[in-house]
Amino acid sequence: MPAVIAELKKFHRSNGNAGDSLFDLGCGNGSVAAAVAAGGWKVSGVDPSSQGIAEAKEAYPHLHLEEGSAYDDLVQRFGRFSVVLSLEVVKHVYAPRDYARTLFDLVELGGTAIISTPYHGYLKNLAMAMKGKMDTHFTALWDHGHIKFWSIPTLTTLLNEASFGGIRFARVGRIPPLAKSMIAIAHKPKSSSQTPDNITSRTSFFCLLESPL
């Protein structure tokens, strides 16, 4: 969470008061949305869990959180936002391209999407294999568990396909090669005429040593 808050502060420094609306795509029980709202953001959000939304409404009645998912027409319901936050969601979606299109549509021109998911890379996978942890980590026995396991290249491809640009990554938790999670920061072009075909999209990553989200 500290890395996410740092990105939101960076967005405010870059945009001033021009952007203070945030959408939490997969808000769960609303705890993250509430923490972000405490920083001055105007927060809305959805989650497919009716129980999660019931808990959110009870705990944070001042927030605009409703039942819904990335497969719904969320722009029609909520409009577009300066920042769209989606933490630990993309690992659960059956149709990631539909999710990414919704994510892109929700972001205003010139806005930012922030996505987190467990990190996977060669050295981490090798370490798990050497310790005999692969069956545990990639278990098929977890009801409603993770169904997508992302790396920096695969998540970059997904976001590029959705027309995001300027993608960069932070790895958080443990040392970077064995990081628990990664955070992708992706930008929507300021003009609808800018697409991956006529702009240069560069992907970079940086590392933050901190506790996991």
User: pTM for this one?
Assistant: 0.87
Of the candidates 109, 81, 102, the one whose C-alpha atom is nearest the C-alpha of residue 189 is: 109
Q: Are 172 and 213 contacting, i.e. CB atoms less than 8 angstroms apart?
A: yes
Q: How far apart are CA 130 and CA 177, in angstroms?
A: 15
Q: How far apart are CA 1 and CA 31, in angstroms?
A: 11
- Per DSSP bridges, beta strands 165-172 and 181-187 are antiparallel
Q: How far apart are CA 156 and CA 20, in angstroms?
A: 26
CATH number belonging to domain 2-119+145-207: 3.40.50.150
Per run of 10 residues, the mean pLDDT along the chain (length 213 residues) is 86 74 97 94 96 97 96 96 96 95 97 96 93 89 86 97 96 91 95 55 45 42
Q: What pLDDT does 198 receive?
A: 41
Q: What pLDDT does 142 receive?
A: 85
Side chain identity at residue 48, one-letter code? P
Q: What pLDDT does 85 receive?
A: 98
